A and B are shown apart, each in its own frame.
Chain A
Amino acid sequence: MISSTVGIWNYWIVFCLMMIGLFLVIGRKNFLKKIVGLTIFQTSVFLLYITFGKIKGGTPPILNESINTIYSNPLPHVLILTAIVVGVATTALGLSLVLRINSEYGSIEEDDVSAQDLVDYHDDIETGKKLDLKFKK
């Protein structure tokens, strides 16, 4: 009974962590916080995968001499190794986007940025300038 509850408990916490990450992404207006949310979400997905690969009484998948060893599943480990490195690459890209937004708008709050965009849009309409959908340089 205890073992079965604990067995599913891990999944529940992982799902809660995912939802906290998702909330940071869609609920918070600060761009840096959004990227932190993405990182949290990513790490919890890694946890989910590694949890799938675990075998009770297994050892890490490094071959040893004895025959009757149970090895945990190596395939999720490989996938997650790749995903960690790709995750850092996306984090770096997101952070450089945030830095660029900060240098263009002087703020990394979504409300400020969209307010500035709205003001520019209405200015363009009032002056009758031809609207181009390109980002403001």
Chain B
Amino acid sequence: MISELLINAFLVTIMLSIAIALIKTRTVIFTVILTSAYSLVAALMFITLDAVDVAFTEASVGAGISTILFLAAMAYLPKKEEESISSEFIPALSCIILGGILIWCSFDLPEIGQLTAPIHQHIAPEYIKGSKENIGIPNIVTSVLASYRGYDTFGETIVVFTAGVAVLALLEKKNPAKKNKSQPKRKIRKNA
């Protein structure tokens, strides 16, 4: 039991060091690679925390597709991050204060892995009991995702569709020559 938690603690510490490296680095390619590594270590974490479905979704979508998107965007963007003129003291201070408050609050959280924690009392036992009879799939996550809370998944597809439409609208290839010609014409007419 303790070994499991120690593996957890080890993995989150790796994640912490990756995040600190992210603050240090100013090169865009390193930033992208570190983000990908962060997602992969997070996927390992999810396996040790019994969330196998989440782990392979994170490994394929978080570490795979996100990285592809970042790499594709990187090709059109400046390769170096500039040093900021303004001071980073106030953001850092507010983050540290907020983190301190969160850590202070964490003493009220239930210890990891306790069966008596409030989250395990409410509706999850019903899902675990009813999954076999109601839906007949051994994987409870799938039956909750697709059946008990199917509307959530429906809403998710709407969100993804909206994002896709918005991306298409933003990246629409305008014909620059045509636009530059048409705008001055209008202005000339107004002046005349």
- Contacts A23-B91, A78-B141; A73 near B124 (Cβ below 8 A): yes
* Number of chain A residues whose Cβ lies closer than 8 Å to a Cβ of chain B: 85
- Interface 1/0 per residue, B140-177 and A, CB below 8 Å: 11001100010011001001100110110011000000
Q: Do residues B86 and A111 form an inter-chain contact, with CB atoms below 8 A?
A: yes
Taking chain A's interface residues, is the majority helix, strand, or loop, or is none over half, making it mixed?
helix
* Number of chain B residues whose Cβ lies closer than 8 Å to a Cβ of chain A: 93
Output the nearest chain B residue to A23 by Cβ-Cβ distance: B95
Instruction: Tell me the number of A-to-B contacts counted with CB atoms below 8 Å.
Output: 284
- Interface 1/0 per residue, A104-126 and B, CB below 8 Å: 00011101000000000000000
Given contacts A8-B107, A30-B82, A51-B112, 20 further A-B contacts (CB under 8 A): A8-B109, A8-B112, A13-B15, A16-B16, A17-B12, A40-B22, A55-B50, A57-B1, A61-B50, A61-B140, A62-B141, A73-B119, A77-B141, A78-B145, A80-B51, A91-B66, A95-B73, A97-B170, A102-B77, A111-B82
B residues with a Cβ closer than 8 A to A are: 1-2, 5-6, 8-9, 12-13, 15-16, 19-20, 22-23, 28, 31-32, 35, 38-39, 42, 45-46, 49-54, 57-58, 61-62, 65-66, 69-70, 72-74, 76-78, 81-82, 84-86, 88, 91-92, 94-96, 98-99, 102-103, 106-107, 109, 111-115, 117, 119-120, 123-124, 127-128, 131-132, 138-141, 144-145, 149, 152-153, 156, 159-160, 163-164, 166-167, 170-171
CB<8 Å pairs between A and B, sample of 27: A6-B2, A7-B5, A12-B106, A13-B16, A15-B102, A19-B98, A23-B91, A23-B92, A28-B81, A39-B39, A40-B22, A40-B38, A50-B49, A50-B51, A53-B50, A54-B112, A59-B50, A74-B144, A76-B51, A78-B152, A80-B51, A81-B145, A88-B65, A88-B66, A92-B164, A98-B73, A99-B77
